[in-house]
Amino acid sequence: MADLDGSGFAQFDRLLDLVRRTRELLDMVVGHGVLPDEGAAYLEDMTLPHFENVQTGFHGWLRSDAADLAELRYLLMQVAELRVPPARTEAERRAAAVEDSIERRLADGIVRPAPITRVEPWHLAALAHARVVLAWIPTTPTEAVRYPGGRPSYADIPAPRGPAELAERIAEIERELWRTVTRRPVTPLDPAFRRTYGFFDAAEHLGYRAFRHAA
Mean pLDDT by 10 residues, the chain (215 residues): 53 92 92 81 94 87 60 56 58 64 63 57 91 95 87 92 88 91 80 95 86 66
Residue 31 has a pLDDT of 77
pLDDT computed for residue 153 by the predictor:
92
Report pLDDT for 185.
Answer: 75
Give residue 8's pLDDT: 53
The amino acid sitting at 206 is L
Q: Give 192-195's long-range contacts (Cβ < 8 A, gap of 24+).
A: 193/26, 193/30, 194/147, 194/149, 194/150, 194/157, 195/137, 195/157, 195/169
Radius of gyration for the chain, computed over Cα atoms and rounded to the nearest angstrom: 20
Residue 208 CB contacts under 8 Å (≥ 6 apart), including other chains:
7, 12, 16
pLDDT of residue 74: 58
40: nearest Cα among 50, 53, 26:
26
The domain segmentation of the chain, as residue ranges, is: 10-64+120-214
DSSP one-letter code for 208: T
What local confidence, expressed as pLDDT, does residue 46 receive? 95
Distance CA 157, CA 134 (A): 9
Helix 163-181 to helix 121-136 angle, to the nearest 10 degrees? 90
Taking the CA atoms of 185, 188, 190 and 192 in sequence, report the sign of the dihedral they define. positive
C-beta of residue 212 within 8 angstroms of C-beta of residue 189: no
Q: What's the pLDDT at 83? A: 47
What pTM did the predictor assign? Answer: 0.72
